Amino acid sequence: KAGVTQTPRYLIKTRGQQVTLSCSPISGHRSVSWYQQTPGQGLQFLFEYFSETQRNKGNFPGRFSGRQFSNSRSEMNVSTLELGDSALYLCASSLDRALSSTDTQYFGPGTRLTVL
Amino acid sequence: AQRVTQPEKLLSVFKGAPVELKCNYSYSGSPELFWYVQYSRQRLQLLLRHISRESIKGFTADLNKGETSFHLKKPFAQEEDSAMYYCAPSSARQLTFGSGTQLTVLP
């Protein structure tokens, strides 16, 4: 089975621009979560999508948004980029078999975003 | 507020020595508990999940509800265990990662 894929792998943008990152989950996985990883703050949860609906959201400003398509692929968008948005953005997918528990999350390689 | 603490940023042990990576958490309710690992140039992956007792590579973790700790242990460390380890409690399907411990196993 192919793993989680993320595109692009590297991205350089300037302040004020916007960016869209893409994530393709493992086939059959319905839940997609996004995380931001920085040296200072570590791994922080951004949001989670399931069946095209945002189910959970972390403490990030509204400039960070996402969506999920009917094939479970997901995109996240960051508008009005700031220098502090430079980070590795990780996507993870899971089967989501049980409503009351957390399934194993399978991570992609990440997209390295640099904001100049 | 949910909080996860991994007090050791760096940990070095010799090959064959026991290793323990500490994790303390502060959570409302009873979170599910995970350890994730990232080897050099590899993706973050599940190492251990408390609820299913599944484990890879000989690691175990003991849940102490009284102390709200979930320390990761291995009796005999191997050089290939060198990696970054993250403790991650979960509630409502949302993982909260600790800051991580970089384990180096010396030959």
pLDDT tens-digit readout, B29-71: 778 889 999 999 999 999 988 877 767 789 999 888 787 899 9
A3–B95 C-beta distance less than 8 A: no
Whole-number Å distance between alpha carbons of B107 and B13: 9
B43–A102 C-beta distance less than 8 A: no
Residue pair B3/B25 in contact (Cβ under 8 Å)? The answer is yes
What is the distance in angstroms between the Cα of A68 and the nearest Cα belonging to chain B?
17
Question: What pLDDT is attached to residue A101?
Answer: 66
Going by their DSSP bridges, the two strands B19-21 and B69-74 should be labelled as antiparallel
Whole-number Å distance between alpha carbons of A86 and A110: 13
With a pLDDT cut of 90, the percent of chain A lying above it is 84
Confidence of residue A99 (pLDDT cuts 50, 70, 90): low
Provide Rg for chain A, Cα atoms.
14
Residue type, A111: T
Please write the tens of the pLDDT for every residue from B16-33: 999 999 999 988 777 888
Residue A55 has pLDDT above 80, yes or no: yes
Please write the tens of the pLDDT for every residue from A32-51: 999 999 998 999 999 999 99
Question: What pLDDT is attached to residue A100?
Answer: 57
Residues of chain B contacting A104 with CB distance shorter than 8 Å: 46, 49
Which DSSP string corresponds to A49-62? Answer: EETTEEEEE-S--T
Which DSSP string corresponds to A26-49? Answer: PTT--EEEEEEEETTTEEEEEEEE
Residue B5 has pLDDT above 80, yes or no: yes
A90–B95 C-beta distance less than 8 A: no
Confidence of residue A97 (pLDDT cuts 50, 70, 90): low
Residues of chain A contacting B41 with CB distance shorter than 8 Å: none
Whole-number Å distance between alpha carbons of B101 and A81: 30
Residue A88 has pLDDT above 60, yes or no: yes
Residue type, A31: S
Torsional sign, CA A32, A37, A43, A46: negative
B99–A107 C-beta distance less than 8 A: no
Residue A28 has pLDDT above 80, yes or no: yes
B45–A106 C-beta distance less than 8 A: yes
Question: What pLDDT is attached to residue A98?
Answer: 61
Residue A52 has pLDDT above 80, yes or no: yes
